[in-house]
């Protein structure tokens, strides 16, 4: 069951926005609504976020992503549609009921940190708890723990202005963590940081997410960031969600020209993983079998390579047609394993890490799942095709 | 001279209507007017008594100390010299009377202006109504306020303070509204996102961040109050204003110049002290800033650097990098 769901959300700015919703449902365009003085920011957005997921909303400025994230915690009330958190329809809540949901279920990290300059780091981290009415000693203890989690132990007495941008955003993150909500909204949280610090923060976020099992909705305009962080990515354009999928789905199967153009500059080697491009092994041969059987399989099915596995499907190596033919000719009884094929890669290894390995060998790379069993193989041709910018048909030949 | 009648337009007797309205107020809200008169008289006269009770030189030292506390030793020195001159020019009493009037008028004006400014900042409709009223209050010649003030309170101190409050109020409202509207929208959103109530946001975020602007408004209120307090001399309010009025009536240049210099000395003192209060960070040489710095250096624990192995940080190297980036 999703923790968070958005159902046909609309947000239109202007006078009497309701009429804009009707018009859009009847097929009016954004430009037509603009002419009437209405600005549709979010149009018919629906998605579900599962517990523990990092859901990234990706779009350029003006695509409506910031409005969308503010609808999740009701900072912008929806013009139409519903936001459902657990079983509660947020769109129906007002005033104190809405504030209670914000205090207990959702916290938020902001692009420009939004810290209180006149309060210390510790007081900033404890802000959400103070709002909840927690006693001073309790909230200080929890804020200290949150600061420790983000690597700012001992900075509680400083003022935010004395910290670098990256550290200030850690305070913003600590403030959100201290509130101990299940859902964390991050609005371009790392966009104002320089690239090195951004990279560290991304790693730290993934690390924290795995430890604390937060459900994160992350807004960004940086596709590489989206692909690094997102379990799933929603691509937004002009207020609409164009596509929702994993990084690989979006790269390899873009739903529209816009998405395809958008992703063409992505460093595919960093985004695509071994699991996404590997071929399922149609035939394998047991390690105890001899060259005759291998030769027969290869000849009958025109194989370029044949993986050799143990009884528990853990791979031993690969045999290649030429070497098998030689072994049969020589009358050998053991399989002529290609020497360098014994090492394997895991499903989630990015292609960038395979390139050096692949260049040094003639046999395909073997991919194993998390139990060490053979999951697939990647011939060099497949690797190169996956890295080229013309996905889909060739990759899944 | 063309009259309204010649232009075929009716003579609109705005002045008469307003006069009628004032008469009505005078007749029906007399209790309020009396209350205002009694309270103001009591407070201002009490304050004058207080300012006059120590020997003048002790007061000079106290004013200099205030200047040093919030600003610098230079302002303290200037204050001591200026206020000593007030004594030497034999205008110490009228100066303290004017100072008391300005202080009380400012307190009342700020007490009215800040809540009004907050309301205007939070509500566009209130803002739309308040703004033209403020324009009216600010551009109407100050003398005009004296007329209804005298009808309400007859002559003396109270009409002077009434006119001063009306005249000095606008910048307080305007700058409070501006200060609150200028507070970074994302920071206000942060308050909302963590479930703070509008009151918590106002108190914890908007007001503190608006303080420098609000203090600039208070500074303006004081300056206007001082200029009006002189005009209030026309209603017979005791103080430097009364001396100015007398000097005009008698064409007494020395008296006029001395009273004028007295106003200037008070003005500079009040301006520098209040603007220093609005920007405490900019006055590192002030006594308060030094005391605060000494207290933090002695008491507050310095941040233990995160490179220490027991920090428990999941990624110490990460932290170190950003610490370096921060310095």
B271 pLDDT higher than 60: yes
Which residues 236-275 in chain A show a CB within 8 A of chain B?
none
**Domain range for A165:** 52-76+98-267
- B96: tokens are 């303290």
Question: Both A302 and A364 in a single domain?
Answer: yes
Residues of A in contact with B327 (CB under 8 A): 164
**Model confidence over A288-316: pLDDT tens digits?**
888 888 888 888 888 888 888 888 888 88
Instruction: Decide if A194 is inside a domain.
Output: yes
Asked which of A210, A242, A267 is the last residue of a domain, the reply is A267
Instruction: Report the CATH number at residue A310.
Output: 3.10.580.10
Instruction: Decide if A43 is inside a domain.
Output: no
Instruction: Decide if A45 is inside a domain.
Output: no
Question: Both A201 and A121 in a single domain?
Answer: yes
For the segment A115-143, the average pLDDT, to the nearest whole number, is 88
Measure Cα distances from A328 to A286, A325, A340, B150 in Å: 17, 5, 21, 123
- Mean pLDDT estimate for chain A: 84
With cut-offs at 50, 70 and 90, classify the pLDDT of residue B296. low
Instruction: Decide if A86 is inside a domain.
Output: no
Q: Select from B192, B312, B321 the Cβ nearest to the Cβ of A148.
A: B312
Q: Is A39 on the interface with B (CB under 8 A)?
A: no
Contacts with A261 (C-beta within 8 Å, 6 or more apart), sequence order: none
With cut-offs at 50, 70 and 90, classify the pLDDT of residue B42. very high
B100 pLDDT higher than 90: yes
With cut-offs at 50, 70 and 90, classify the pLDDT of residue B313. very low
Question: Both A261 and A320 in a single domain?
Answer: no
Q: Is B315 on the interface with A (CB under 8 A)?
A: yes
- Please report the number of interchain residue pairs, chain A to chain B, with beta-carbon separation below 8 angstroms: 126
Instruction: Report the CATH number at residue A134.
Output: 3.40.50.300
B301 pLDDT higher than 50: no
Across the strands, what pairs with A74?
Answer: none
Instruction: Decide if A256 is inside a domain.
Output: yes
Question: Both A175 and A249 in a single domain?
Answer: yes
More confident residue, B266 or A385: B266
pLDDT at A393: 46
User: Could you tell me if A177 and A208 are in contact, meaning their C-beta atoms sit under 8 angstroms apart?
Assistant: yes
Query: Are the beta carbons of A157 and B303 separated by less than 8 Å?
Result: yes
User: Could you tell me if A49 and A215 are in contact, meaning their C-beta atoms sit under 8 angstroms apart?
Assistant: yes
pLDDT at B302: 47
With cut-offs at 50, 70 and 90, classify the pLDDT of residue A362. confident
Q: Is A361 on the interface with B (CB under 8 A)?
A: no
Instruction: Decide if A61 is inside a domain.
Output: yes
Question: Both A311 and A260 in a single domain?
Answer: no
Question: Both A142 and A258 in a single domain?
Answer: yes
Asked which of A240, A267, A294 is the last residue of a domain, the reply is A267
Which structural domains are found in chain B, ordered by start? 28-286 (1.10.3720.10)
Asked which of A210, A240, A267 is the last residue of a domain, the reply is A267
**Model confidence over B163-204: pLDDT tens digits?**
889 889 999 999 999 999 999 888 999 998 998 888 989 988
B50 pLDDT higher than 90: yes
Question: Both A283 and A255 in a single domain?
Answer: no
Query: Are the beta carbons of B300 and A157 separated by less than 8 Å?
Result: yes
Q: Select from B193, B200, B325 the Cβ nearest to the Cβ of A166.
A: B325
B54 pLDDT higher than 80: yes
Tally of residues, chain A: 397
Question: Both A227 and A142 in a single domain?
Answer: yes
pLDDT at B319: 38
Nearest CA in chain B to A178: B194
Query: Are the beta carbons of B321 and A200 separated by less than 8 Å?
Result: yes
Nearest CA in chain B to A123: B204
Numbers of helices and strands, H then E, in chain B: 15, 0
Q: Is A159 on the interface with B (CB under 8 A)?
A: no
Question: Both A166 and A257 in a single domain?
Answer: yes
Q: Is A115 on the interface with B (CB under 8 A)?
A: yes
Question: Both A249 and A213 in a single domain?
Answer: yes
For the segment A205-216, the average pLDDT, to the nearest whole number, is 88
Q: Is B208 on the interface with A (CB under 8 A)?
A: yes
For the segment B130-147, the average pLDDT, to the nearest whole number, is 87
Domain count, chain A: 2
Q: Is A205 on the interface with B (CB under 8 A)?
A: no
Instruction: Decide if A19 is inside a domain.
Output: no
Instruction: Decide if A46 is inside a domain.
Output: no
Question: Both A248 and A363 in a single domain?
Answer: no
How far is it, in rounded angstroms, from Cα B310 to Cα B302?
16
Question: Both A222 and A261 in a single domain?
Answer: yes
């Amino acid at each position: 069951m999703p923790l968070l769901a958005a159902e046909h959300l609309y947000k239109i700015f202007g006078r009497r926005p309701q009429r804009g919703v009707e018009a859009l449902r009847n097929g009016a365009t954004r430009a037509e609504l603009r002419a009437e003085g209405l600005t549709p920011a979010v149009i018919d957005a629906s998605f579900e976020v599962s517990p523990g997921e990092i859901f990234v909303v990706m779009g350029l400025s003006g695509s409506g992503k910031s409005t969308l994230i503010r609808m999740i915690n009701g900072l912008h009330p929806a013009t139409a549609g519903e936001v459902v958190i657990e079983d509660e329809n947020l769109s129906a809540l007002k005033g104190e009921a809405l504030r209670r949901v914000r205090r207990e279920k959702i916290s938020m990290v902001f692009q420009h940190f939004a810290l209180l300059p006149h309060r210390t780091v510790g007081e900033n981290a404890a802000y959400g708890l103070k709002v909840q009415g927690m006693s001073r000693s309790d909230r200080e203890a929890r804020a200290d723990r949150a600061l420790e989690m983000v690597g700012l132990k001992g900075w509680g007495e400083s003022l935010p202005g004395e910290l670098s941008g990256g550290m200030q955003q850690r305070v913003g993150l600590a403030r959100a963590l201290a509130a101990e909500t299940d859902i964390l909204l991050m609005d371009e949280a790392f966009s104002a940081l320089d690239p090195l610090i951004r990279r560290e923060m991304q790693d730290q976020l993934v690390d924290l997410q795995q430890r604390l099992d937060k459900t994160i909705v992350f807004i960004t305009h940086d596709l590489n960031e989206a692909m690094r962080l997102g379990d799933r990515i929603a691509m937004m354009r002009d207020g609409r969600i164009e596509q929702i999928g994993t990084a690989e789905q979006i790269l390899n199967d873009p739903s529209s020209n816009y998405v395809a153009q958008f992703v063409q500059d992505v460093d595919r080697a960093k985004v695509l993983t071994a699991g996404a491009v590997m071929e399922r092994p149609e035939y394998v041969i047991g390690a105890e079998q001899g060259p005759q059987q291998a030769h027969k399989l290869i000849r009958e099915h025109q194989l370029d390579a044949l993986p050799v596995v143990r009884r528990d499907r853990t791979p031993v190596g690969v045999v290649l047609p030429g070497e098998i033919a030689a072994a049969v000719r020589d009358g050998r009884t053991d399989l002529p394993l290609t020497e360098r094929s014994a090492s394997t890669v895991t499903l989630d290894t990015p292609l960038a890490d395979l390139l050096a390995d692949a260049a040094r060998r003639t046999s395909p790379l073997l991919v194993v799942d998390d139990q060490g069993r053979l999951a697939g193989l990647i011939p060099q041709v497949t690797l190169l095709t996956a890295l080229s910018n013309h996905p889909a048909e060739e990759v899944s030949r | 001279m063309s009259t309204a009648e010649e232009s075929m337009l009716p003579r609109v007797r705005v002045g008469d209507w307003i006069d009628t309205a004032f008469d009505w107020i005078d007749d029906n809200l007399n209790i309020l007017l009396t209350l205002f008169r009694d309270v103001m008289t009591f407070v201002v006269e009490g304050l004058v008594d207080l300012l006059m009770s120590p020997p003048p030189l002790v007061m000079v030292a106290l004013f200099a100390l205030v200047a040093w506390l919030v600003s610098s030793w230079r302002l303290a020195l200037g204050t001591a010299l200026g206020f000593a001159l007030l004594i030497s020019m034999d205008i110490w009493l009228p100066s303290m009377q004017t100072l008391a009037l300005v202080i009380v008028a400012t307190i009342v004006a700020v007490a009215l202006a800040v809540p009004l400014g907050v309301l205007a900042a939070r509500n566009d409709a209130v803002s739309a109504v308040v703004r033209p009223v403020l324009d009216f209050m600010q551009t109407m010649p100050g003398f005009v306020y004296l007329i209804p003030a005298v009808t309400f309170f007859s002559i003396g101190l109270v009409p002077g303070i009434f006119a001063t409050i009306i005249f000095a109020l606008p910048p307080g409202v305007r700058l409070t509204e501006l200060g609150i509207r200028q507070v970074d929208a994302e920071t206000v959103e942060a308050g909302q996102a963590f479930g703070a109530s509008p009151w918590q946001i106002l108190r914890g975020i908007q007001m503190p961040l608006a303080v420098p602007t609000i203090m600039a408004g208070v500074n303006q209120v004081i300056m206007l109050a001082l200029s009006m307090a002189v005009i209030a001399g026309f209603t017979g309010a005791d103080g430097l204003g009364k001396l100015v009025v007398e000097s005009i009536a008698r064409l007494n240049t020395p008296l006029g110049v001395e009273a004028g210099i007295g106003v200037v000395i008070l003005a500079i003192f009040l301006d520098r002290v209040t603007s220093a209060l609005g920007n405490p960070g900019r006055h590192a040489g002030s006594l308060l800033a030094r005391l605060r710095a000494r207290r933090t250096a002695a008491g507050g624990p310095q941040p233990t650097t995160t490179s220490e192995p027991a920090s428990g940080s999941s990624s110490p190297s990460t932290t170190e990098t950003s610490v370096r980036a921060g310095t």
